A and B are shown apart, each in its own frame.
Chain A
Amino acid sequence: MLTFVARRLLTAAITILVVVFLAGVLIHLVPGDPITAMLAQSGNASAVDIARLTEQYGLDKPVWQQALLYVGNVLQGDLGTTIRGNEPVAPLLLGRLPNTIILAVAGLGTALALGIPMGVIAAVNRGRAADFAVMLIAILGVSIPGFWMGLTFIQFFSLHLGWFPVAGTSARNIVLPALTLGIVHSALVARMTRSALVDILNEDYIRTARAKGLRESEVLMVHAMRPAMISIITVVGLVFAHLLGGQVITENVFSWNGIGRLAIQAMLQRDYPLVQGFIVIFATSIVLVTTALDLLYGLLDPRVRRR
């Protein structure tokens, strides 16, 4: 088990390091110059100032040199300073990360609360009207764009009914963005739950359990749901990782003060250090979540440890 854990952690560390280097290189392939864009918006884009700031921010160096320098700084815990406002990147992102995690957890909770019952209902009623109805709802959840759903919720729940504030980052504000994220991601949870349960409900041991006279609810909740959990945990991990970086649009619509909003602004402004910092934090979160899942599989299923 110890070797298994060490191997997974080493892989995670190497992956993060490669991502940091690639982030340093790839960001420069996107067209656009952050200094010209910044000074054009300040009404002071003189050639002298552009050249001076380009040099001061080290943007005149070759891309590979900038990328290596960035990796070195990140290894020392320094994510650099923003081009806009000249502020340290790390506290800026880490200060907002809790808000993003809170929204991700709330979105995930909503997705599970909606998705698992939907998946169970569909699996138990396989091939019947209830199955089709649940899967239709799931497809709609995936198909409706999150930003449209969010704006519709604002119009209805905030403007029409006055139940929730339109914007902000507080306990009252979390309901609508969590619901939006939850509905969008519940579809995946529902489909995965259904698929896992349908397979398991056809297994011989389930037939045996029914033949022994166990109640259907007991068969379902004890004998079927437990083995289905490994598939559901996979989805939970993926959805959570996706929510950490993929809720950018929802944060923007509901003015939720997470790192996603900061990232959008940084990308539009080509604020390289801030975008790179976002990639580092996002990639690290994904790697940590997937590594934790790997370790969890290892605990749940000894066959995984032996691979």
Chain B
Amino acid sequence: MTRLTLSALIFGATALTALPLAAQTTLTVARSVDADGLDPQKVSTTQSSQVTDLIFDTLVTLDASGAPHPGLAEAWEISEDNLTYSFTIREGVLCHDGSAFGPEDVVFTLDRAVAPETMNPRLSQYGPIKSVTAEGNVVTVKMTEPYGPFLSYLGSFSIPMICRSAVAVDGSFTPIGTGPFTLVEWSRNDHITLKANEGYQGYSPLIENKGRPYIDELKLVVIPEAVARMAALRSGEVDLAEPSLEEAAILESEPGFKVYSADLSGQQVMAAFTWKLAPFDNPEVRRAIGMALDRDAYAMIAYEGLVSPTTCPAAPGLIGVDQAKCAEWGTRYDPDAARAIMEGLGYTPANPLKIKLSVHALPGFDQMHQMMQQHLAEIGVEAELETREVAAFFDHMAQENMRTEGTPVLWTMGYSGVDSDYMTVMWQRPGFVNMGVGEELDTMLADQRMLTGDARVAKLQEVQQYILENTYAVPLVSPGWNWLWASTDKIEDFKTGFVASIIFNDVKIAE
């Protein structure tokens, strides 16, 4: 018996030493730009929030339809007047530094977010918060007026929960949250190294692995040049990278690679009008132009079939967005009918209406705009293309939208959000780059914020019907930018979430 036990022990020891040590799995991801910062209450770009979203969790989570589910809050109640939200905070959640996450952290997060000295670029998404208090494990948020999109924003990377220990007495910030990854190192503009949060407990309906991420380490490197990023992916230096549109189309048909397009991007590209300028003040002219634009062709040709045509003024998947209804309210591609309208108004290819097509540079945009020029020429509209870089473009359009005299401008733009409420930011006067329309639409947009549930859905659809029937906008495609990823086929279960967030909880690296 002793000999048998000894033999078993020797065999066991030999077997153990023969087993290879479990290799550390590191996933290296190449992005075009780095985060601006890691304080989620001070950053504004998607690339920054893609990182903070890995470090910090949210109070509620969103499913693929945008409906809220429990997150760090295991339950919540909304008062009948929609002015008070009571969140029951989950117990047993730990911050990355080992401290317990609790209601005080929620109060701290929301108080800091709305404090003027924080200079939070996303302040208005927090809504009209009057007070935040904690009693037991319940946090009560009181609003000065109802704010319908509050839960959507609470479920997005715009409003993550930070641990109190993140902010030192001198005000300095260390990214300490409760998310699936903890920060190891950040060499600005070069790389960010994160490691799996060993005690992580996830709640998002978008992930299957509710525990610690399968990968041990995540390294986000910055490679600004698209050609160099692809060289790094092809050489195996990185596992996942942002491809250019052209490269994505090539990789899609190439063995050994996978291409991902963000379904829940909340992004949408559309054409809009300087409608105060004649003849764009005539809804019939706007309608004819809408009927000349072939969104199916733009999606298939300009965007290599990697995006979908869209018909609503808010992005697919967001609350109140119904593509079939929008298709009825808005314009459909019908060049013959468009030409007839323009001829009736005296414009023909021989005597065209002269406009400017003002745009900014983005992948896919150039070819789409060239196609738009051709489509417009066919109905008697001569469009002079003007391209600016992003920062100059929005400033330029803010001035163009104020003009009441001069050449009319058709312009294209993209916007994104986690809730259709972003239509309020865009269309309620003065609106984004002064694109606001008028009192009727302002009222509808203000009303939707006061509502919740089905009543809000109905009001949001009323807004979209108004915009489309008056052809203030012509929705084109979705998504539109920062939405493409490519990996080697060793990578399994990489996902993208709302507003082009990146999800690594389920990722496995195959041998």
Contacts and interface: CB of A to CB of B under 8 A. Distances in A.
Interface of A: 30-34, 36-49, 52-53, 56, 82, 84-87, 92, 95-96, 147, 151, 154-155, 158-159, 162, 165-169, 252-255, 257, 261-262, 264-265, 268-270
Contacts of B191: 168
Given A44-B122, A159-B231, A166-B223, 18 more contacts: A30-B392, A34-B391, A36-B391, A39-B44, A43-B416, A44-B125, A44-B158, A44-B422, A44-B425, A47-B430, A47-B432, A85-B37, A85-B42, A96-B189, A151-B225, A158-B235, A257-B188, A264-B224
A269 B392 CA distance: 9
B316 to A, nearest CB: 16
B271 interface: no
A249 B20 CA distance: 45
Contacts of B224: 252-253, 255, 261, 264
Contacts of B30: 167
B250 interface: no
A41 B228 CA distance: 25
B119 A253 contact: no
Interface of B: 30, 33, 35-37, 39, 42-46, 48, 116, 119, 121-125, 158, 187-191, 221-225, 227-229, 231-232, 234-235, 237, 266, 388-392, 394-396, 398, 415-417, 422, 424-425, 430-433, 499
Contact of B432 (A45, A168, A253, A268): A45
B235 A162 contact: yes
A44 B124 contact: yes
Contacts of B432: 40, 45-47
A31 B33 CA distance: 23
A42 B121 contact: yes
Contact of A41 (B46, B124, B430): B46
Nearest to B236: A162
Nearest to A57: B119
B227 to A, nearest CB: 5
A276 to B, nearest CB: 16
B45 A255 contact: no
Nearest to A51: B430
B44 A159 contact: no
Given A33-B395, A40-B390, A42-B45, A48 B124 contact: yes
Contacts of A31: 388, 392, 395-396
Given A151-B227, A154-B227, A268 B36 contact: no
Contacts of A268: 389-391
Given A49-B124, A252-B225, A41 B235 contact: no
A86 to B, nearest CB: 5
B394 A33 contact: yes
29 contacts: A33-B391, A34-B391, A36-B391, A36-B398, A37-B391, A38-B44, A38-B45, A40-B432, A41-B390, A42-B45, A43-B266, A44-B122, A44-B425, A46-B124, A46-B425, A47-B431, A49-B122, A85-B36, A85-B42, A86-B39, A92-B188, A95-B188, A151-B225, A165-B237, A166-B223, A166-B232, A166-B235, A264-B224, A268-B389
B292 to A, nearest CB: 27
Contact of B221 (A87, A147, A167): A167
Nearest to B425: A46
A39 B123 CA distance: 11
Nearest to A147: B225
A166 B33 contact: no
Given A32-B389, A45-B432, A168-B190, A85 B425 contact: no
A174 B432 CA distance: 45
Contacts of B227: 151, 154-155
Contacts of B392: 30-32
Nearest to B33: A265
Contact of A159 (B125, B189, B235, B425): B235
A64 B121 CA distance: 26
A86 B119 contact: yes
A178 to B, nearest CB: 16
Nearest to A257: B190
Contacts of A48: 124
Contacts of A43: 158, 266, 415-417, 422, 499
B417 to A, nearest CB: 5
Shortest Cβ-Cβ A-B pairs, 7 listed? A85-B37, A85-B36, A32-B391, A42-B44, A37-B391, A84-B36, A32-B392
A37 B190 contact: no
A165 B229 CA distance: 11
A255 B32 CA distance: 10
A254 B231 CA distance: 11
A300 B266 CA distance: 66
Given A36-B394, A44-B121, A56-B119, A85 B237 contact: no
Nearest to A258: B189
A84 B391 CA distance: 13
B272 to A, nearest CB: 14
Nearest to A166: B232
A164 to B, nearest CB: 10
B499 to A, nearest CB: 7
Contacts of A151: 225, 227-228
Contacts of A255: 190, 221-225, 228
Nearest to B121: A42
A272 to B, nearest CB: 11
Given A31-B392, A85-B37, A158-B235, A167 B122 contact: no
A38 B237 contact: no
B123 A49 contact: yes
Contacts of B119: 53, 56, 86
B480 to A, nearest CB: 12
Contacts of A37: 390-391, 394-395
Contact of B122 (A42, A165, A269): A42
Contacts of B396: 31
Contact of A167 (B35, B42, B223): B223
A254 B225 CA distance: 8
Given A154-B231, A252-B224, A166 B237 contact: yes
Nearest to A170: B190
Contact of B232 (A36, A167, A261): A167
B288 to A, nearest CB: 29
B224 to A, nearest CB: 5
A12 B228 CA distance: 40
B400 to A, nearest CB: 12
Contacts of B223: 166-167, 255
A247 to B, nearest CB: 14
